[in-house]
Amino acid sequence: MSHDQRSAFVRGASLSMGWADASKSLTDLIFEGVSSALAASAVEMEQIDSVVLSAHDLIDGRSLSSMVTAPAAGAYLRDEIRLAEDGLVALSLATARIAAGESRLSVVAAWGRASEADFLNTSRASMDPFMLKPLGLSEFDVSAFRLSKWLSKYPGKEADRNRAAETRRHRASRNPRTVASPALSFPLNFPLRDAEQPRWADIVVAAVVGCEDAPVRVAGVGHSTDQTMIGDRDFLDMPALRAAASTACDDAGIVLNQIDLFEIDGLMLSDEVITLEALGLCRPGEGFDTYARSTTINPSGGAGAGWCYPAMGLVRFAECYLQLTGAAGAVQSKSRARTALAIGASPIGSQTQTAVVLEAE
Amino acid sequence: MKQPVAIVGIGQTTYRRHHFNRSTDELVREAVVAALADAKMDLSAIGLIVGGVAPDALAGINHIDMSSIARPGIPYFRVNTGGATGSSALLSAITWIAAGRCKAVLVVAVERMGHATTAQKIFNSIFDPIYEKDISLSTISMVALRATMLMQYYGYTLDHWAGLAARNSAVSQLNDTLERPRNFTAAEVLSSGILAWPIHKLEACPTSEGVCAVVVASADMVGDRSAAWILGARGLSDTYAMGDRMRRAEGTLVELVTLKKAAALAYADAGITDPLRELDAVEIQAPFASSEPMAYTALGFCEPSDGPRFADKAIDNRAGISINPSGGPQAANPVSATALIRITECALQIRQMAGRRQVDGIRKTVSTGQGGATQFSTAVILGADRP
């Protein structure tokens, strides 16, 4: 892998996951999260020349929420843009700005406050009003369709599935960033299970990226988009995911099996598992077993440690960064990883995918 | 060295109060097909699609872009910076190309606010739920507060607002993207009733729907395509509370500090030192007549104290620069798309493709974008000559 003059480097990151802290407003949480990222980066706000954000109005609970949230993230008389996308897209755009010479040091932040957001109804409001909404479909049902297809193709994996759920629960319990007291769960349709739900959290994740050398480099970025209609998609093959990962690896000059560590986004455990299968990290049908055995796939506990759209791709990125810098705490991988792949997905049912390869010195 | 970037394709639907008989997918398709045809490209040449959709609540469908704009196999993301969404989306496209990630980007901005039962109730929800929502602060009352400030500080009168509204209405009659352009005199503005003093009904933009699509390409893709070159493109954000911006050291609320700074940076990128002399046309995102003079000063056309006199000249079309040759957003203001339309109208003028509204001799332009409570500002300079 070779450095080029347009590389972006990660100066630091912070990840905060909590639950329903009535003493803090959303802007308080954002200010704290960005301040922590700046402190972790040894960077003063005055040095920052751009801010790239990912947040969604309906999760934040007000229209054009960046009017009040962007200043809390440091966007005062600064170049700032807000995406209504997964957080990993913001990271990608920030690195593009550095590569383009438009910015030298950028704050990237994403958040979601599950304790106040109405994820289920927000998700339902995303569905086609004529064909899908009357059925009451939500993101959970897309996950149920995906798992149903997997189960029909690969029956008899009950023990693997249980072990994967237990492994994820165990890892999440050791992750010092795991949200402490989740109090929210949603009714699920067959074949989804409560034990495979994400742990809902109030999340603020932030990073500082810049053009000057730092121990971790953003080596590759890839994006792609799947079919619009849910019925048109190949739920198990996930071509958009594979295209995004392939582009990121090509960009980094690395092949997938050379990567040391993976942090994969998925609403349900089964989404994480099917994603790792589609990436080619194991043979089809062996995803639950691989998830349970591998210490390099979602060592953080994935969505079991905390989840709220649209922060999750940047959360996966932050967990990768902490692993690469040896700062992951109790979930630190024993063999120190030098390369990592973070995956972020969008609604509806991962229609767009983002992949980012990180490389340590 | 960064490659220059240009606008090489433009497609627009008509803009009207409510496209009641057409789906968002149909509107997007019309604009995108036109933009690609204008650019002499097909989707296989596009390396990124950027969607511009402001508050989801206006359309009533969350993530309406995912079905109507995003295409399989092409990277896609959505920008939402309120009224500046369209120009912010274009800035992202420029970034992507300048970073070397692809050579051509399709920007598509969509507005379906005619679906909202009342847009002003949704705009009320952009304000603080504790201190501001209960006093019915909306985009109209927000503008009224600023207009009052302008009248007190600089001596603008109701006649200025009415004159500018009538002037833009007259110009808009030549704009074939407007399905039913409103036509009225200054006297009719003053008798049209008060929305929130001093704003009269006919000084306000109409509810507007429509789609604007633009193809942006790197210099090596331009070839013999008709191009409007991007000479400078900048954006800046401000703090939220209008009270905090009343009389701070950086400038008052009506001085549009972020637009002033964004324009200064864009001018520097474009090598412009005397904007009024060097620029031929300006498209200002001023959905209300009283918002327009704030941009005159922020763009460096006059000093704040000279604002009323410059407005007099603008009303009489003798400002020394072509102002809003399209009629501007007071003629149609599809919120998510309006800042992109301002850039598009400048690009059409430079490419001499503006039809009946074409102004002779347009070679360099500036267009503005404003989002939030004049909180997010963009300035984009276009030119006929490759930089």
First vs last C-alpha separation in chain A: 11
Question: CB–CB of A235/A29 below 8 Å?
Answer: no
Tell me what pLDDT residue B44 has: 98
How confident is the model at residue A154, as a pLDDT?
A: 98
CB contact under 8 A, A223 and B75: yes
Query: What is the β-pairing status of strands A352-360 and A339-345?
Result: antiparallel
Other beta carbons within 10 angstroms of residue A136's beta carbon come to 11
Taking only the tens place, the pLDDT of each residue in B263-310 is 999 999 999 999 999 999 999 999 999 999 999 999 999 999 999 999
Among the partner-chain residues A62, A221, A348, the one whose CB lies closest to the CB of B126 is A62
At B343-357, the pLDDT tens digits run 999 999 999 999 999
C-beta separation of A50 from A102 below 8 A: yes
| pLDDT at B132 exceeding the cut of 90 | no
pLDDT at residue number B116 = 81
A337: tokens are 């990883």
To the nearest 5 percent, what fractions of chain A are helix, strand and coil?
40, 20, 40
pLDDT in tens, A2-35: 445 478 999 999 999 999 999 999 999 999 999 9
ipTM of this predicted structure:
0.97
Among partner residues A63, A123, A129, which is closest to B126 by beta-carbon distance? A63
SS3 B76: strand
Contact A81 B81 (CB under 8 A): yes
Q: Is some CB atom of chain A closer than 8 A to the CB atom of B369?
A: no
pLDDT at position A183 = 67
CA–CA distance, B371 with A64 (Å, rounded to integer) = 9
Q: Find how far residue B280's CA is from the centre of its chain.
A: 17
Average pLDDT estimate for B90-105? 97
pTM for the predicted model, two decimal places:
0.97
Contact at CB, A79 and B235, closer than 8 angstroms = yes
**Structural tokens at position A295:** 């210490």
- In chain A, what residues touch B57 (CB-CB under 8 Å)? 57-58, 63
Q: State yes or no: pLDDT of B130 exceeds 90.
A: no
A300's CB contacts (< 8 A; 6+ apart) are A171, A172, A175, A177, A263, A319, A328, A331
**Average pLDDT of every residue of chain B:** 96
What span, in angstroms and rounded, lies between the C-alpha atoms of B217 and A315?
Answer: 33
Closest CB to B126: pick one of A67, A99, A244.
A67
Instruction: Report the pLDDT value the prediction gives residue A270, as an integer from 0 to 100.
Output: 98
State yes or no: pLDDT of B115 exceeds 90.
no
Report the half-sphere exposure of A149 (CA within 13 A, side-chain side).
Answer: 15
B77 close contact with A: CB closer than 8 A: yes
Q: Kindly report, residue by residue over B16-53, the tens digit of the pLDDT.
A: 999 999 999 999 999 999 999 999 999 999 999 999 99
Kindly give the interhelix angle for B139-154 and B307-315, rounded to the nearest 10 degrees.
110
Chain B residues closer than 8 Å to A122 by CB? 62
User: Could you tell me which chain A residue has the CA closest to the CA of B262?
Assistant: A79
Q: Which residues pair with B77 in a beta bridge?
A: B50
CA B255 – CA B291 distance, rounded (Å)? 11
Rounded CA-CA distance B39/B289 in Å is: 34
Structure tokens at A208: 């500082």
How far apart are the C-alpha atoms of B302 and B299, rounded to whole Å?
8
CB–CB of A96 and B96 under 8 A?
A: yes
A77 exposed, middle or buried (CB, 10 Å; 0-12, 13-18, 19+)? middle
A175: closest CA of chain B, how far (Å): 31
Interface contact A66-B67, CB threshold 8 A? no
pLDDT score recorded for residue A3: 46
The alpha carbon of residue A157 is apart from the nearest alpha carbon of chain B, in Å, by 32
Residues of B in contact with A66 (CB under 8 A): 80-82, 372, 376
Question: What 3-state class would DSSP assign to B7?
Answer: strand
Q: What is the reported pLDDT for B2? A: 73
Rg (CA), chain B: 19
The kind and range of the H/E element at B215 are strand B210-218
Residues 237-266 of B with CB under 8 A from A: 237-240, 250, 257-258, 261
The answer to whether residues A201 and A308 touch, using CB atoms and an 8 Å cutoff, is yes
Query: Stretch B338-367: mean pLDDT, rounded?
Result: 98
**Is the preceding peptide bond at B304 cis, omega within 30 degrees of 0?**
no
For chains A and B, count residue pairs whose Cβ atoms are closer than 8 Å: 164
Tell whether B48 lies on the interface with A, counting CB pairs under 8 A. yes
Low pLDDT (below 70) residues in chain A = 1-5, 183
Mapping DSSP to helix (H, G, I), strand (E, B) and coil, where does residue B108 land?
strand
Distance of CA B374 to the CA centre of its chain: 12
- How is residue B272 written in tokens? 């412009």
Q: Is 50 exceeded by the pLDDT of residue B1? A: no
* B 198-237 residues inside an 8 A Cβ radius of A: 234-237
Taking alpha carbons only, the member of A53, A87, A92 closest to residue A73 is: A53
Give chain A positions within 8 Å (CB) of B55.
Answer: 57, 63-64
Q: Which residues contact B296 (CB under 8 A, 6 or more apart)?
A: B302, B307, B310, B311, B314
Confidence at residue B170, expressed as pLDDT on a 0 to 100 scale? 98
- The pair of structure tokens assigned to A269 is 């455990």
Are B330 and B289 in contact, with CB atoms under 8 Å apart? yes
pLDDT at B196 over 90: yes
Mutate which: B1, B56, B67, B95, vs A, most A CBs within 10 A: B95
Q: Average pLDDT for residues B131-156, to the nearest whole number?
A: 91
Structure tokens at B207: 């509810």
List the beta bridge partners of residue B199: B196
Q: Do B123 and A63 touch (CB under 8 A)?
A: yes
Q: What is the DSSP string of A169-233?
A: HHHHHH-TTS-S---------TT--GGGS--B-EEEEEEEEESS--SEEEEEEEEEE--SSGGGS
pLDDT at position A277, please?
98
